[in-house]
A and B are shown apart, each in its own frame.
Chain A
Amino acid sequence: MENYETSSKGAFVLKAVCLVMIALILAAALRGSDSVPGDRSAFVDPTEAPTQEPAPTQPAVPSETAFVTALPAHTDTATPTETASGETPIPTETAVPTETPVPTETAVTTETPVPTETPKATKTPKPTATPKPTNTPKPTNTPKPTATPKPTRTPKPSGDPTPTPYYSEPPHLPGPDVSTIPPLTSRSGKYHTYGDGLNLIRVDNSAFEISFYVKSSAKKYADLISWAAEQLEGSTNVYSLIIPTGYGVVLPDDIAAQISHHVDTEAKINVTFSLMSDKVIKVPCCHDMRLHRNEYLYFRTDHHWTSLGAYYAYRAFCRVKGIEEIPLTARQEKRKTGFLGSFYRSSGKDPALLPADTVYLYWPVSPNAKMKFFTDPASDGSHGGTNWPIVSPVANYNAFAGSDNPLTVFTNPDVTDGSCLIIIKESFGNALLPFLVDHYSKIYEIDYRYWTGNVLELAASVGATDLVFANNFAVLSAGSKIQQIARIVK
C-alpha cells in the first residue's frame, strides 16, 4: 500500500514536471525563439514578460503523512546519563548505596543521637469509623488536559543570569497544629516555564509540575479500588491514600491564581473519594499536609515529597486507622545535603533552582525491623531476596526502602500481633515505609509498575489485615498507571 502511495506521489511529481516542460518547449517553439529549455533568458526577456504565463506552482505535497513521530517538539531533554534519575531503581546485591555528587556544596551529615527511650511499636487495632473527608466540594466539570498545556500569563524570563540569591529552607520538623491552612505567597510574584512539552514551572527557587485531573480516569481508579474492597470485605481493610504532589500543597497562592485551569488538588481528591465505595477507608492526608504547607514537605528540585511530607500522610493514616503515631522527635535523624533531583535535570540544570535540597532521614524505632527486596517481577517474597537497610544514608530519594523494586518485604519481630499490610505504591510510597514498619509484623510493599502477581491472591495467602493504595495524584489523570494497577488487582 505504501508502495502504491509512493509511486503515485512520484508519478504525480513527474507528470507535473513533464507538463511544465512541454508547455515551455511548445511556447518557445511557437514563438520561434532560439532559446531551449534550460535557457533562462526566455524568462527574463523584458519584451516577453507581459505575455508570459505565470510561473508554474510546485505540485502540492500530499498532506497525509503515514508516519508521525511522537512528541517532536520535546527535544530539550538531557542525555540519558544526565536524565537518569539519581535513583537506582533496583540495587544489586553487591551494590553499595552511593551518594549523588554535590555540585555546589559539600555534603554534611549531622546525626541526632538515638533517643534513649524508644517508644514501643504499637499494635494495630481495628480501624475506627472512616472520617469523611473535609471540605468536600461538589464535583465540577474539569477541563481536559491538552497535549502541551501551557500556563497563561507567563511572564517572560527575567533574563537575569544570576539566580535569586536567597535560600531559606523551611522548617523540617513539624510545626504546631493549626486549624486553618496558612497562606503562601511567592517572593517574585511570577513563575518561569521551561518550554513546550514540559509542565514544569519554577517559582523563585522551587520547581513544580502542573497537576491535571481527568474525572473519567479518576472514576476508573475509584471503581478499581472499590472493586478490591468489595472482594476483600471481611478479611482485609482497604485504604485509599491519594498523595498530593507539591503543586497541590506548597504552590504559592498568588501563582496558583495566575495558572489557567489550575486544579485544586484537595478538592479533586475529595471528589475521587466520593466516587469510591463506602467499603474503602479514605485517608485525607492532603488536608493534613496543607495545614503545614509552610514547612519543608517537598523537595524544590525533585518531584517527590520529603520525609516530613510523608510523615504527615503517615500521621493521617494513623488517625484514620485509630493507632498512635510515633513522632519524628522519637526517631534517629540524619541530614544529607546536596540532593539535586528530577526537576533540576528536566529544567536543564537551571541554576535558579540552586542550592541543592537536603534529605532528612528518620529511622524506624523498632530495632529489629528488617527489609528484603525482590527483583523478580513474579516473586511472592517467599524465596531469595536481598537484604537492604530500610533507610540508607544517601543524599537522594533512594534513601527510602531501597527505592523501587517489584516487591519488598518488611518484617518486624517487635510487633507480635501478626498484623500484615500490603501497600500498592509507586515511588512516593517509599518514604512512608520507614514510618509504617513500626506498626506491622509484616509489610508487603508492591510497586505496581514492576510486579506481575495478583494482589488479591497475595492478600489471601499472607492473611493481610490491611491493603493500602498509596498512589500520587498523577495517577488520577494517567490511564496507563490505572491500567498497571488493574493488571495486578483484577
Chain B
Amino acid sequence: MKKITAILLAAVFALAFLACSPKENGDKPAAFDAEATLNKLLADVKYAAPLQDVSQYADFLFSDLPEGTSIRHFSAGGKYADAVLLFTLPDETGVPAVKEAVSLYLDSLKLEAERYEPAEASKLQNAVIYDNGAYLFVVITADTQTAEKILG
C-alpha cells in the first residue's frame, strides 16, 4: 500500500514538473523599450521638483565611459538630488564600467548631500540602478517604489 502511495506521489510530482516547464514560444520577453521606460519614469515617479532635461551638459558628468555611450540626464537641480539618467551603450559589455562610474558619482553626490542637504542623502543611498541589455537607468527619488515597479 505504501509503495503504491509512493508511486502515486512520484506521479504527482512528475506532473508538477511538467506543468512548470516553459512553453516553447509563449514566455519569451518582449524587446525592451528604453525610451518608453524613460518616459514612464519621468511621468509617473514623484520627484521633489520638476525635472529639467540637462542632457546637453551630460558630457561633463563622467570621464572614461565606454566609447559610444550616450547619456540622457534629467535633474531637479538646486538643493534637490532627484534625477533620472539613462545610459545607452553600444553593447552590454560596457555596463559594469558604467555601473562603477555611477557608483563613484553617487558617492560624490552623497558626500556633498550629507554636508549641505542631509535630507537628500537617503535618496542617493537608495538610488535605483537597473540595467537591461545595453541600457542602464539610474533613478534618484524618494519614490523608489514607483520607479522599481516601472523598471521591473
Using a CB–CB cutoff of 8 Å, the interface residues on chain A facing chain B are: 1-2, 4-5, 7-8, 11, 14-15, 18-19, 21-22, 25-26, 28-29, 32, 34, 36-37, 66-71, 74, 77, 80-81, 83-85, 87, 89, 144-145, 147, 197, 214, 216-217, 220, 224, 303, 342, 346, 377, 404, 406, 427, 449-450, 452, 478-480, 482-483, 486-487, 490
The answer to whether B118 and A486 touch across the interface, beta carbons within 8 angstroms, is no
A7 contacts across to B, CB distance below 8 A: 27
Complex-state Cα separation, A404 to B107, whole angstroms: 22
The answer to whether B62 and A479 touch across the interface, beta carbons within 8 angstroms, is yes
A479 contacts across to B, CB distance below 8 A: 60-63, 105
B116 contacts across to A, CB distance below 8 A: 85, 87, 89, 404, 427, 449
The answer to whether A67 and B17 touch across the interface, beta carbons within 8 angstroms, is no
Using a CB–CB cutoff of 8 Å, the interface residues on chain B facing chain A are: 2-3, 5-7, 9-10, 13-14, 16-17, 20-22, 27-30, 32, 54, 57-64, 77-79, 99-100, 102-110, 112, 114-119, 121-122, 124-132, 148, 151-152
> Which of B103, B105, B148, B151 meets A480, CB within 8 Å?
B105
The answer to whether B118 and A1 touch across the interface, beta carbons within 8 angstroms, is no
The answer to whether B2 and A34 touch across the interface, beta carbons within 8 angstroms, is yes
Complex-state Cα separation, A8 to B103, whole angstroms: 29
Whether A15 touches B124, Cβ cut-off 8 Å, given contacts A68-B129, A87-B116, is no
Least Cβ–Cβ distance between A14 and chain B, in angstroms: 5
The answer to whether A483 and B58 touch across the interface, beta carbons within 8 angstroms, is yes
> Which of A66, A217, A404, A483 meets B57, CB within 8 Å?
A483
> Which of B20, B63, B77, B100 meets A147, CB within 8 Å?
B100
Least Cβ–Cβ distance between A205 and chain B, in angstroms: 21
The answer to whether A15 and B117 touch across the interface, beta carbons within 8 angstroms, is no
> Which of A25, A427, A449 meets B9, CB within 8 Å?
A25
Complex-state Cα separation, A1 to B137, whole angstroms: 15
> Which of B57, B107, B129 meets A490, CB within 8 Å?
B57
Whether A8 touches B62, Cβ cut-off 8 Å, given contacts A29-B6, A85-B115, A450-B78, is no
The answer to whether A18 and B27 touch across the interface, beta carbons within 8 angstroms, is no
Complex-state Cα separation, A70 to B64, whole angstroms: 20
The answer to whether B105 and A25 touch across the interface, beta carbons within 8 angstroms, is no
B77 contacts across to A, CB distance below 8 A: 377, 452, 487
Whether A67 touches B152, Cβ cut-off 8 Å, given contacts A15-B20, A36-B5, A480-B108, is yes
B132 contacts across to A, CB distance below 8 A: 1
